[in-house]
Amino acid sequence: MEIKKAIMAIAGAGTRFLPLSKVISKEFFPLLDKPLIQYVVEEAKKAGIEEIIFVINPGQKMIVDYIKPDKALEKLLIKRKKESALKDLKDSEAVFEGIKISFVVQKEPKGDGHAILQARKLIGNEPVAVLHCDDVIDSDVPAISQLIEVFKTCNAPVLALKQLPKENLPAYGVVANEKIANRLHKIKKIIEKPTLEEAPSDLVVVGKYILTPEVFDYLKTAKPTKKGEIFLAEVFDKMLSDGKMIYGCEVKGEWLECGDKLKWIKSFFYLAMKDPRYREELKQYLKTLK
């Protein structure tokens, strides 16, 4: 089955980015000169996705305003002959052209699994891509396209994986795996935030997946935590314990993490130093800092 739909869950409170996230939803934080959300929408579009379902919280209106063309601003830029700014505006609006946009509401933050479950009615009995806005992969081939290629051969859930230094593993979900081909793994178990001794490998889960309808069946019957949350990683682990197949793909490209302030700043600098518009002047400026 072709994968033409994607879920982007953006209902979280962004507590790691307070006080910034009091006024700006995390998915609109800038990464160089574009908001985070634009990177993942561009990735989905390049991968052939035709519909994106955004999972939002009840008061989240910024995404609706961002998607809509701003004719008043366009007229102002034309009047003031701001050609460069007008091009930037039109380019950002063009990202959403040709894609059907739908919204579902997660009334309370109850975990990423609960957020994804809210989109079930719009997915139907189809496989679906899931992309998190705070995981950007800088790659010639979109990361989600790499997962789709794996899905075509296995018809089972596929998780994006990245190799990390051992000392970083306790902050991530780490997989126990069986390597079956170059960059392709059979997942045996997922351990969330293990100690260095507990970590079963150096491969961690990135926030990009291909989910099958069966995953939604498990999400629907998943037992919430004491805080009432449902986490996708725990659902994957339950599926694995039941003998279900889940695969992992080490995606090619630079992983630009934006899950906390320091990672976001590092990712910002990575793109800035790569961009020929800013690289040389930034290099000179950094030399002046002590």
Please give the average pLDDT of every successive group of 10 residues along the chain, which has 290 residues.
Answer: 92 85 89 94 96 91 87 92 91 92 91 93 94 95 96 95 95 94 94 92 96 95 90 93 96 95 95 95 91
Distance CA 103, CA 243 (A): 34
Listed by start position, the domains of the chain span 5-287
Nearest-10 Cα torsion for 177, 180, 186, 188:
-40
> What pLDDT was estimated at residue 276?
95
> What pLDDT was estimated at residue 61?
84
pTM: 0.91
Distance CA 290, CA 286 (A): 9
The three-class DSSP label of residue 105 is: strand
> What pLDDT was estimated at residue 21?
86
> What pLDDT was estimated at residue 22?
86
> What pLDDT was estimated at residue 227?
87
The three-class DSSP label of residue 255 is: strand
Superfamily of 5-287 according to CATH: Spore Coat Polysaccharide Biosynthesis Protein SpsA; Chain A (3.90.550.10)
